[in-house]
Amino acid sequence: MSPLPVLKWDQGLFEQITRGFRFPPEWDAQYPRQGQTAADAPPGYITLFEDFFLQGNFRLPATEFMAHILHYYGFHISQMSPPDMVRVRHFEFLCRSHGIEPTVEKFRAFYQLIRNIGFYSFGNRGSAKKILLNPSKSFHDWKMKFFFIREEVISIAMIFREPDTIEKEERQFPRELTGT
């Protein structure tokens, strides 16, 4: 994977995020040094993107559902794009608002994993009803707005998934989940 573009956001917004989202000091959130890329997280740290929080409604510590998604699909949170953070969080909000426990199995009824230039995305599953009708398109320069934080904020050990082919999922889902 080629290096990500360099830093292009200001430290003031980073500080607003750390204060506004109440990051405790032990998480040691770090604004990157000039010249660092999102791929330069120090040992024991992970990279998170500003738009995860401002556009994707991501919160720390991460929910169990988010940890289950990352574990099941086997990729690192820094390999997820903000639009896909929106999809995961939207799905979780919808389930919880209807008194349903969100699960990977239910998520898979609506979305399938696709690889997209070094990042992993969730595309709508063929015949499943769309549940996010108007996804945001305002993610400009998101790869250049990142910071580092202690890896303990995510409750599972994450690994970087190598750029491989993704096997097509052949599993059928119950009609009540897909709406078909």
Sequential DSSP letters for 23-70: --GGG--BPPPTT--GGGPPTTEEEEEHHHHHTT---SSPPHHHHHHH
Identify the pLDDT of residue 176: 47
Counting residues of the chain whose pLDDT is more than 70, the rounded percentage is: 77
Which residue in the block uniquely carries the two structure tokens 């969100």?
Answer: 102
- Mean pLDDT for the chain overall: 82
Peptide bond connecting 61 to the previous residue in cis, omega within 30 degrees of 0: yes
The tens digit of pLDDT for each residue in 100-141 reads: 999 999 999 999 998 777 788 888 887 666 666 566 666 667
Rounded to the nearest 10 degrees, how much is the dihedral formed by the CA atoms of 85, 114, 152, 141? -50
DSSP-derived 3-state class of residue 121: strand
Report the DSSP pairing between strands 146-150 and 45-49: antiparallel
- DSSP for residue 84: H
Mean pLDDT of 72-94: 91
Say what the pLDDT of residue 18 is. 96
Of 77, 146, 161, 46, the C-alpha closest to 115 is 161
Reported as a single tens digit per residue, the pLDDT across 31-77 is: 999 888 888 999 999 999 999 998 888 999 999 999 999 999 988 99
Residue 7: what residue type? Answer: L
Q: Where are the domains of the chain?
A: 11-178
Burial of 164: CB neighbours in 10 Å, binned 0-12, 13-18, 19+ = exposed
Residue 160 has pLDDT above 90, yes or no: no
- Confidence at residue 117, expressed as pLDDT on a 0 to 100 scale: 73
What is the predicted pLDDT for the residue at 26? 97
**Residues 118 and 79: beta-carbon distance below 8 Å:** yes
**What is the pLDDT, as a whole number, of residue 16?**
94
Q: Please give the Cα distance from 29 to 149 (Å, whole number).
A: 4
In this prediction, residue 147 has a pLDDT band, given cuts at 50, 70 and 90, of very high
Does pLDDT of 95 surpass 90? yes
Does an H or E element contain 89, and which? helix 82-97
pLDDT of residue 144: 87
Q: What is the pLDDT of residue 163?
A: 59
**What is the percent of the chain with per-residue pLDDT over 90, rounded to a whole number?**
48
Query: Binning pLDDT at 50, 70 and 90, where does residue 175 land?
Result: very low
